[in-house]
Structure 1
Amino acid sequence: MKEHTYSVTVNWVGNTGKGTTDYTSYQRDFDIKADSKITIAGSADPAFRGDASRWNPEDLLVASLSACHKLWYLHLCAVNDVNVLEYVDRSLGRMSEGDNQSKGHFTQVTLRPRIVVASGADIDLAMRLHEQAHHECFIANSVNFPVVCEAVIEHQR
């Protein structure tokens, strides 16, 4: 079995000079860095006192699921002679904050890719490949909530 490692640095940049003396004394901002890659500016969701202009962990989880599915899907299309010309996914994640008995958690992520394939491509096969992509996706295999795919596929005009 192959094993891969991923090393990232998450650096909190939200100390306003008081540290975490109380819940409102600090910003939730952080930077995500990895090797020579572009830095990702992160924060908490605005509902939790975060900066709406920065990526939050919930956004990143939904984006990771979407990107992983897309990468597997494009691979499967390439090896099955389905020529994909466009792929745009406007995914939606649902999270419940929980109550006194349970912690917050994601309840579902819905992938909603809109795909354009070349004229003459087998749209039925293209649709079936989404199920295979879902089963291959490393991120989807790592979460404990449903990941649903509601793809729309059309031929190039």
Structure 2
Amino acid sequence: MKTHTFQSQLKWTGNRGQGTKNYKAYDRSYTVQAEGKPTIQGSSDPAFMGDPTKYNPEELFLFSLSSCHMLWYLHLCAVEGIIVTDYQDLAEGMMMEDTDGSGAFKEVLLRPKVTIADPSKKELALQLHHKANQMCFIANSCKCAVKHEALIH
């Protein structure tokens, strides 16, 4: 078994001068980055007093699942001789918030739209989404179900 270690840096940038004196005294803004890569501006979702122009953790979670699935899918297609010429995904996650303010994603639905060069391989191309879901590091780390409704052209 191989071990891989990843690091990221997070910095809260929302101190308006009073810190967290009260719930409305601070901004939810932050930055995240990994060494040698561009900084990402983040905030909480507007439902939680966040900045709607910045990415929120929930969106970043969906990005991670969607991109991990795609990368595994492309790998599996290459191994199976399926030439993918276009790949797009519209991911959607359903998060349930509890009365105490905690919550969790209950389900994520990926909707990849894939174009392949050889239409005769459409059935195999569809099946490979299941294997990609089984292989995805991020999906394997989730408590919620990660489903997909793939469309192959």
TM-score, normalized by length of structure 2? 0.97
Residues matched between the structures, number: 153
Once the two structures are superposed, the pairs formed by residues 5-154 of structure 1 within 5 Å of their partners are: 5-100=5-100, 103-154=102-153
Q: Any conservation in 2 of the 1:82–1:121 contact (CA below 8 Å)? A: no
User: How far off its partner does 1:98 sit?
Assistant: 1.4
SS of 2:61's partner is helix
SS of 1:122's partner is helix
2: CA distance, partners of 1:68 / 1:91:
12
Q: Any conservation in 2 of the 1:83–1:121 contact (CA below 8 Å)? A: no
Q: Any conservation in 2 of the 1:86–1:117 contact (CA below 8 Å)? A: yes
- Aligned residue identity for 1:141: N
Structure 1: 4+ residue segments shifted above 6 A: none
Q: Any conservation in 2 of the 1:73–1:129 contact (CA below 8 Å)? A: yes
Q: Any gaps of 5 or more consecutive residues in structure 2? A: none
User: How far off its partner does 1:124 sit?
Assistant: 0.1
CA offsets per residue over residues 90-119 of structure 1, 9 Å max, x none?
10011011124x831101000001111113
- Aligned residue identity for 1:79: V
Aligned Cα root-mean-square deviation (Å): 1.1
| Larger mean Cα displacement after TM superposition, 112-121 or 82-91 | 112-121
Q: Any gaps of 5 or more consecutive residues in structure 1? A: none
Give the direction of change, closer, same or farther, for the CA distance of 1:75–1:121 in structure 2 (3 Å limit). farther
CA offsets per residue over residues 49-72 of structure 1, 9 Å max, x none?
000111110001111000000000
TM-score, normalized by length of structure 1? 0.95
User: How far off its partner does 1:121 sit?
Assistant: 4.6
- Aligned residue identity for 1:74: L
2: CA distance, partners of 1:144 / 1:78:
29
Q: Any conservation in 1 of the 2:82–2:118 contact (CA below 8 Å)? A: no
User: How far off its partner does 1:120 sit?
Assistant: 3.9
